Amino acid sequence: MTANNQIRLVKNVRIKGIACALPEKVEEVMSLSESFGAESVNKIIGSTGVERRHVVTEECSSDLCLSAAERLISDLGIDKSSIDTLIFVSQTHDYTLPATACVLQERLGLPMQTAAFDVAMGCSGYVYGLWMAGSLLSGGGSKRALLLVGDTISKIVSPTDRAVAALFGDAGTATLLEFDPSAADIPFVLGTDGRGAQNLVVPAGSYRDRKGHSTQTNEKGVRGPYDLYMNGAEIFAFTLARVPALVTALHEADAESGKAIDKYVFHQANRFMLEHLVKRMKLDRDKVVLDVKDVGNTSCASIPLAISLHTGKAGGQICGRFMLAGFGVGYSWAGCVAEFENVWVSPLTITSTVNAETSL
């Protein structure tokens, strides 16, 4: 076992299904040519692999997750009264308070016995959510958990910041997990290095700097204190420093299974970063899921969305050993190896603004 990566084993937990939702509005990256010039935008597309993104108008992350959850519950034929835990993972919550999970409990019609709470995580958020839901199920505190993971990062991106304007899209996802004594163990690796927090940050708007006095990331004509700031070079260096060790630790933890990994699904940061990781770790490129062309970087939603896009428009059941790994904002990283045994993946849902909840 790699010395710097603790293996956290989750037992008796099965992933039953995944569903994803995108907003109907689509923005072409080439439309940014007026701001940055066609040559510059073509270079951005060539590096990131992103040609277009789905972005919200009035919708929130919760609206997208709601659509995904309703589709998944319907497809699986699940009795809503059997769902006893609801976890909402996002960096773009509806309100400072109450917790968005509480609002979603009511909107979904889940029973009042449901434990519902929010988790503020980004790029590693999906795997963190699997670990939290799985730990509750494994420990006997829950029998069936609904994990809702989504972000609307387009709301906090400055359209004049070439580092991020062409990169981020919006998405919401739903994953159903349940207690099952016959399920294969799931090894997790989790880690944090808060020294990198300043390299991917929105400095103002919450309680550290509510009124936007911060100037640490300001750049006139590019971004202000309420806009997302990303130091791409530092994020890239962090990824190369942490992800290979994460993958190695998971390979070593999974070695006893005697089975090969069928698919690697990493956080879909951008094409350049993922292809660099594949070469550095000498992975079989055919086993690595890479699909950012039409959706961009969707933050915490990117892993389940990549699985959905890889499965295809019609959806269906998938099987195999999947290594999932998220990394980024925080700095934070998380990975696991999950046995997908006839996991249902719903057809991708495209939402409309008419489904948005405008107020309490």
Residues 6+ positions from 33 with CB-CB distance below 8 Å: 41
185: DSSP letter:
P
Residue 213 annotated as catalytic: no
Residue of 5, 12, 199, 297 marked active site: 297
**Which of 294, 302, 353, 290 is CA-nearest to residue 29?**
294
Contact 39, 65 (CB under 8 A): no
Contact 181, 11 (CB under 8 A): no
Cross-strand pairs, 252: none
Element (H, E) at 240: helix 232-254
Residue of 60, 65, 123, 336 marked active site: 123
**Amino acid occupying residue 2:** T
Provide φ and ψ at 111, rounded to 5°. -65, 160
301: DSSP letter:
G
Residues 6+ positions from 180 with CB-CB distance below 8 Å: 12, 13, 14
Pairing of strands 52-54, 26-28: antiparallel
Residue 297 annotated as catalytic: yes
Residue of 5, 12, 20, 267 marked active site: 267
Look up tokens 């609002």; give the residue.
103
**Which of 23, 22, 357, 340 is CA-nearest to residue 186?**
340
Task: Report the alpha-carbon distance of residue 147 to residue 132 in Å, rounded.
Answer: 9
Task: Report the alpha-carbon distance of residue 304 to residue 263 in Å, rounded.
Answer: 13
**Amino acid occupying residue 80:** K
Task: Report the alpha-carbon distance of residue 16 to residue 342 in Å, rounded.
Answer: 8
Task: Report the alpha-carbon distance of residue 291 to residue 296 in Å, rounded.
Answer: 8
Element (H, E) at 82: none
Length of the chain: 360
Residues identified as active-site: 123, 267, 297
